[in-house]
Each structure stands twice: as C-alpha cells, then as structure tokens.
C-alpha cells in the first residue's frame, strides 16, 4: 500500500458501464476482443465481412485462425455467408446504427456469433452471442475493450497486464495543443503500441477513466447530434442511415455518402479530421461492389459528445451542396 507523496489525477468511481464480473472480459483492444471471443466459443475458423478494418483480419491471422470472408448488400445484409456448425461469424454493427432488434434478427440465423459493437459502445449484449466493445471510440482513453457473453471470463489468467500510461500523453496534449503536430505524433506512438501488442488485460489507467465517465451525457449528446446530422444531410446522403435506427442506437458517427472524391480533402483542410474508413479495400474488392463504393465515398461525420449544432452546421457549410 502506498500512502502520501504527490497527488495523481482523480476520477469519480462506480460508473463503469459494463461491470458484470461473471460474464465479462476487460482487454486491451477490439481486435484482441474478437479473437478472445472466438477462443471462448471454441472456434478456429471465423467469418468476417470484407467491409471491416484490416487490423482485425491481421490479428486473427497472427493467431493462426482460418479466416473466411463474406460480402454485404446495400442494406448491410450478409451475402454468401454459409458457416459450418463449428465456425464463428462476426456481425458488425456498422456506425452504431443497427438496432438491438436488427442484431437479434441477424444473429438468429447463425451459431457462434460475435457481435462487433466496436462502433456501438452502448448496444445491449445479445443473449447467446459474444458481444465486443471498443472503449476509445466513445470515451477519451488510449485503449480498452470488453467482451460480454457466456464464459467471457475464461482464459483471463493467461493474458499479461497492459500498461498504457507511457503512451497516453496525447490525451493530455489534445487539451493544450489540439490534435495536430506533436499531439498527432504522440497519438501515433500509441497506435503503434496497440498494433504491436498481443491480447492483454485492460490497463488500470483505462479502467479508472472508464469507471469515472458520465455515460448518460454521452448517450444523450450522441443521439441528439446523430438526429441533427440527419436533418442537415439527409437530402444529399446516398444512403439512409436510419433504416435500422431506433431508441436502442447510440451511433459512433453519422455516415455521409456523397460521390465527390474532393470532399474529404475539403473537410480536412477545414480541420474536420475524419478520413475514409478502410481504404485498403479499394485494392482488394470488386470496383462494382457495395464495399468498394462505401470505402471510396463514405465520410464519417463526427457527432460525439464534445459537439453540437454549431459544429455540425459548420461541417454542412464546408460540404457546400444545395440542400433542400
């Protein structure tokens, strides 16, 4: 026990959103969480959608998993997905706009389902499935993930402890310096750390921050901003992100699809720092396919709890189209 010396950062306690110790694993990253979920399910073959971050695929391959791929259609329905009884299936909650009813419907067709809620931190775990969550897409932490489902706490004694404080300085620098320059460089050091890590237990720093976070405020602001963004952008959006949206959704971003290759550069020039997701797919999938089209044109509009009408209206002005 340490007593005295200097004061450290202090946070509220007892607010952690997921805290069922019997069916939960606290790990270091979403990609590690997906691998851990497949391990708990006892599957060494896993189906993942083409439209997903390549870090997930690469992590699974590093662990000698057999990886199979499936396509999605324009309504995010799985195509050519035919798993065998002992094969796991990853279903992605894209952008956080898939309702609990939608996930129940999709997962009901398969055994050994892993719901990838990396983009939907507040989606309710689905009974009979393994649900995976990524903390840093919704809270100011440097890493951290949850796996929730029957037996999720298996194998935890085999994983080493993660330490994140050495590369978490970018979170403090963002407050004083903004997100460019030295802060960006520090953040990339943290990204490289995560890329190099294997499966580890969630860092104590991350868990302390998560235990002191006001989640009700995050939920309220993200839903408000998503609905506001839809009012602002729906007339030009080539997809309808509300087809599965209901009160159970707390989205990560508002997915705006405009067939304008110059738009992303225009937004970045005006300091809206969001890029196309998973552009590696432009070299790997059919140019006529839905995944190629999304990878080329979707822009994830920021809707997180730091912002509101002023910022979203500013983004709309940069987009610069004639809105109805």
Name the band, by pLDDT with cuts 50, 70 and 90, for residue 42: very high
As a whole number, mean pLDDT of residues 73-89 equals: 95
User: What pLDDT is attached to residue 233?
Assistant: 95
User: What pLDDT is attached to residue 322?
Assistant: 63
Q: What is the CATH number of domain 215-319?
A: 3.90.1150.10
As a whole number, mean pLDDT of residues 174-198 equals: 94
As a whole number, mean pLDDT of residues 168-186 equals: 93
pLDDT above 90 (res 20): no
As a whole number, mean pLDDT of residues 175-189 equals: 93
| H or E element, residue 298 | strand 298-302
User: What pLDDT is attached to residue 24?
Assistant: 96
pLDDT above 90 (res 2): no
Thinking of the domain 24-211, which architecture would CATH place it in? 3-Layer(aba) Sandwich (3.40)
Pairing of strands 45-49, 24-27: unpaired
User: What pLDDT is attached to residue 160?
Assistant: 98
pLDDT above 80 (res 76): yes
Of 253, 250, 255, 254, the closest CA to residue 219 belongs to: 250
pLDDT above 70 (res 181): yes
How confident is the prediction for the chain on average, in pLDDT?
94
Of 285, 243, 296, the closest CA to residue 77 belongs to: 243
Whole-structure pTM value? 0.95
Domains 24-211 and 215-319 share a fold: no
Name the band, by pLDDT with cuts 50, 70 and 90, for residue 308: very high
For a pLDDT cut of 70, what percent of the chain falls above it?
98
The strand order across the sheet containing 24-27 reads 24-27, 145-148, 130-134, 113-117, 88-92, 45-49, 66-72, 78-79
> What's the CA gap between 119 and 324, in Å, rounded?
29
User: What pLDDT is attached to residue 51?
Assistant: 95
User: What pLDDT is attached to residue 323?
Assistant: 60
Give pLDDT tens digits for 84-109: 989 999 999 999 999 999 999 999 99
As a whole number, mean pLDDT of residues 159-181 equals: 95
As a whole number, mean pLDDT of residues 10-20 equals: 90
DSSP string, 74-115: TT--EES----TT-EEEEE-GGG---HHHHHHHHTT-SSEEE
pLDDT above 80 (res 176): yes
Give pLDDT tens digits for 223-271: 999 999 999 999 999 999 999 999 999 999 999 999 999 998 898 888 8
pLDDT above 80 (res 317): yes
pLDDT above 70 (res 168): yes
User: What pLDDT is attached to residue 3?
Assistant: 79
| H or E element, residue 183 | helix 182-196
Report domain extents, the chain.
24-211, 215-319
> What's the CA gap between 286 and 291, in Å, rounded?
8
DSSP 160: P
């Amino acid at each position: 026990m340490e007593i005295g010396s200097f004061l450290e950062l202090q946070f509220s306690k007892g607010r952690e959103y997921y805290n069922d110790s019997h069916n939960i694993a606290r790990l270091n990253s979403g990609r590690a969480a997906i691998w851990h979920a497949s391990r708990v399910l006892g599957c060494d073959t896993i189906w993942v959608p083409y439209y997903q971050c390549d870090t997930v695929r690469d992590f699974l391959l590093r662990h000698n998993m057999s990886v199979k791929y499936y396509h999605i259609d324009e309504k995010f329905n799985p195509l050519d997905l035919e798993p065998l009884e002992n094969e796991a299936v990853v279903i992605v909650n894209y952008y956080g706009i898939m309702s609990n009813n939608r996930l129940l419907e999709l997962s009901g067709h398969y055994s050994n389902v892993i719901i990838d809620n990396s983009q939907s931190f507040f989606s309710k775990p689905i009974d009979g499935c393994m649900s995976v969550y990524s903390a840093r897409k919704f809270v100011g932490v440097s890493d951290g993930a949850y796996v929730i489902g029957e037996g999720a706490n298996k194998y935890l004694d085999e994983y080493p402890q993660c330490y994140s404080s050495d590369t978490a300085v970018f979170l403090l620098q963002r407050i004083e310096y903004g997100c460019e320059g030295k802060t960006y460089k520090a953040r990339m050091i943290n990204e490289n750390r995560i890329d190099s890590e294997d499966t580890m237990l969630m860092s104590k720093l991350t868990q302390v921050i998560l235990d002191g976070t006001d989640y009700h405020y995050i939920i309220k602001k993200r839903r408000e901003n998503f609905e506001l963004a839809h009012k602002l952008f729906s007339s030009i959006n080539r997809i309808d992100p509300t087809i599965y949206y209901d009160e159970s959704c707390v989205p990560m971003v508002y997915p705006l699809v405009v067939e304008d290759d110059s738009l992303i550069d225009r937004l970045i020039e005006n300091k809206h720092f969001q890029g196309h997701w998973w552009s590696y797919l432009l070299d790997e999938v059919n140019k006529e396919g839905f995944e190629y089209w999304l990878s080329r044109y979707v822009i994830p509009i920021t809707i997180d709890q730091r912002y509101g009408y002023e910022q979203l209206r500013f983004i709309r002005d940069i987009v610069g189209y004639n809105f109805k």
